[in-house]
């Protein structure tokens, strides 16, 4: 990766894109430390950290801005939720499906515009939930109205959060167009990295406390070799992620010989590459967004896992370390993996293209038999990739529950996103260098 960046830096066009991406991320980090008016950010941070659970998850996905009540506190979550809604509606509503399939560039622009409008609407709702949480926690001690009317304070806070989310969405689109890689993924990548030092410190403290036997009742005290196994397991997860991200199943394809005029075409062998993890990190991101809906709904009513009554029970059931949350999270990851694989790869279309170009898979007739074979292989690969994502995401949750470290419960998700985005960005730079036939890179 370092060698790829060094080679890309030598190309003027890629150097400009890298600098633009860095500049955009600096703006994002600057907005992540600018506080929203009327909120005591210092007291809010300690309060949310004490709540743990889903608030730790939202804080990790959105960076330090969430616990500081910064302008970019909502981050890319509204855009991710909007993308989920629009993509599901595209499958359910025929008009949107035709617009995406047959609309061409104009259709994609319309769907992108609809996604932006839905993002703003979701940002308003989440901003309202954030304000309700702040206003109801500690009997309103987190708010400093400075003698202004309560409705005016609420409007200012909600509009600041909404404007920040809309700007982050626009910034991500600019990175995609003028920078390198997927802008939304890179912003999410930067937000997670901003919390890495705190996560490492929390994990270290949790392991040390377990070794010293100072944890609370019901928490397993680790032996010294258990701590070593946890560290080795973390490193093994990173290696496994890199290996699976680069793995693919290659279906052999043979092209028949054709004589056109005095020249002979075809006769060569090729293959159809099928990525083991075709959908990348998106199933993890989307599953996390949906699994956090119960806590998001609780925010609208100012409730948390510490609340009494039915709300407290409901939110504890869907806490990030509960069995119900683990099962729902697992099923959502598997479901979104299949959803994305069917959207990105159409076996019938691939089989028809092979037939038109005189290609065939050895042992299968062109047409429907070829499509059925590709569909069967795709199903097996998708199942393996979905189980891989689910296990990697859930394993740290179980380990975190054992050693009593809540931040470890989101470590698997964070590692998958960080490693996946880093690999995708590296491949994007390699692809752009290949298009330029950069001699130093090809050697």
In the predicted model, what is the mean pLDDT of residues 334-348? 85
CATH 1.10.10.10 fits 1-194, yes or no: no
Task: Name the residue with higher pLDDT: 303 or 420.
Answer: 420
Domain boundary assignment for the chain: 1-194
Evaluated on CA atoms 58, 59, 63, 69, the torsion sign reads: positive
**Euclidean distance between CA atoms 182 and 190, whole angstroms:** 12
Quote the pLDDT of residue 54: 55
Report strand pairing: 248-255 vs 269-275: antiparallel
For the cut 70, the answer to whether the pLDDT of residue 443 exceeds it is no
Q: For 79-113, what is each residue's pLDDT tens digit? A: 988 888 888 788 788 888 888 777 777 888 888 89
Task: Name the residue with higher pLDDT: 202 or 24.
Answer: 24
In the predicted model, what is the mean pLDDT of residues 16-44? 86
For the cut 80, the answer to whether the pLDDT of residue 387 exceeds it is yes
For the cut 80, the answer to whether the pLDDT of residue 48 exceeds it is no
What is the token pair recorded at 438?
Answer: 């950069």
**Euclidean distance between CA atoms 98 and 1, whole angstroms:** 40
For the cut 80, the answer to whether the pLDDT of residue 276 exceeds it is yes
User: Nearest-5° angle of CA 230, CA 322, CA 296?
Assistant: 115
pTM: 0.74
pLDDT > 90 in the chain, percent: 9
On average, the pLDDT of the chain sits at: 78
Nearest Cα residue to 1 out of 428, 426, 420, 432: 426
């Amino acid at each position: 990766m370092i060698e790829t960046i060094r080679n890309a830096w030598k190309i003027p066009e890629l150097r400009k894109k890298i600098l633009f991406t860095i500049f955009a991320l600096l703006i994002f980090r600057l907005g992540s430390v600018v506080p929203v008016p009327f909120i005591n950010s210092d007291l809010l941070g300690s309060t949310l950290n004490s709540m743990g659970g889903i608030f730790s998850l939202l804080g990790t996905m959105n960076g330090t801005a969430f616990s500081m009540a910064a302008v970019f506190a909502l981050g890319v979550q509204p855009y991710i939720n909007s993308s989920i809604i629009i993509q599901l509606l595209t499958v359910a509503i025929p008009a949107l499906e035709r617009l995406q399939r047959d609309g061409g560039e104009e259709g994609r622009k319309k769907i992108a515009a609809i996604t932006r409008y839905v993002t703003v609407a979701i940002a308003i709702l989440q901003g309202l939930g954030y304000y309700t949480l702040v206003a109801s926690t500690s009997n309103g001690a987190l708010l400093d109205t400075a003698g202004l009317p309560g409705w005016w304070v609420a409007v200012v806070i909600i509009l600041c959060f909404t404007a920040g989310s809309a700007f982050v969405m626009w910034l991500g689109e600019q990175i995609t167009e003028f920078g390198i890689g997927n802008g939304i993924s890179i912003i999410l990548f930067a937000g997670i990295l901003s919390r890495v030092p705190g996560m490492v410190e929390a994990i270290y403290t949790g392991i040390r406390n377990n070794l010293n036997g100072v944890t609370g009742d019901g928490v397993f005290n680790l032996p010294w070799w258990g701590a070593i196994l946890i560290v080795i397991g973390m490193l093994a997860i990173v290696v496994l992620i890199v290996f699976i991200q680069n793995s693919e199943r290659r279906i052999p394809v043979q092209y028949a010989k054709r004589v056109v005029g005095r020249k002979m075409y075809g006769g060569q062998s090729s293959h159809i590459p099928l990525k083991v993890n075709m959908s990348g990190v998106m199933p993890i991101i989307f599953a996390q967004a949906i699994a956090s809906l119960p806590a998001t709904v609780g925010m609208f009513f100012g409730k948390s896992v510490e609340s009494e009554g039915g709300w407290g029970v409901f939110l504890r059931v869907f806490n990030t370390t509960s069995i119900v949350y683990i099962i729902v999270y697992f099923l959502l990851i598997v479901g979104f993996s299949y959803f994305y694989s069917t959207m990105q790869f159409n076996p019938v279309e691939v089989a028809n293209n092979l037939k038109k170009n005189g290609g065939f898979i050895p042992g299968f007739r062109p047409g429907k038999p070829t499509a059925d074979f590709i569909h069967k292989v795709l199903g097996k690969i998708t199942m393996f990739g979905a189980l891989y994502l689910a296990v990697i995401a859930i394993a740290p949750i179980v380990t975190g529950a054992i050693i009593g470290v809540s931040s470890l419960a989101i470590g698997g998700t964070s590692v998958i996103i960080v490693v996946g985005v880093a690999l995708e960005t590296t491949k994007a730079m390699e692809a752009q260098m290949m298009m330029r036939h950069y001699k130093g890179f090809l050697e």
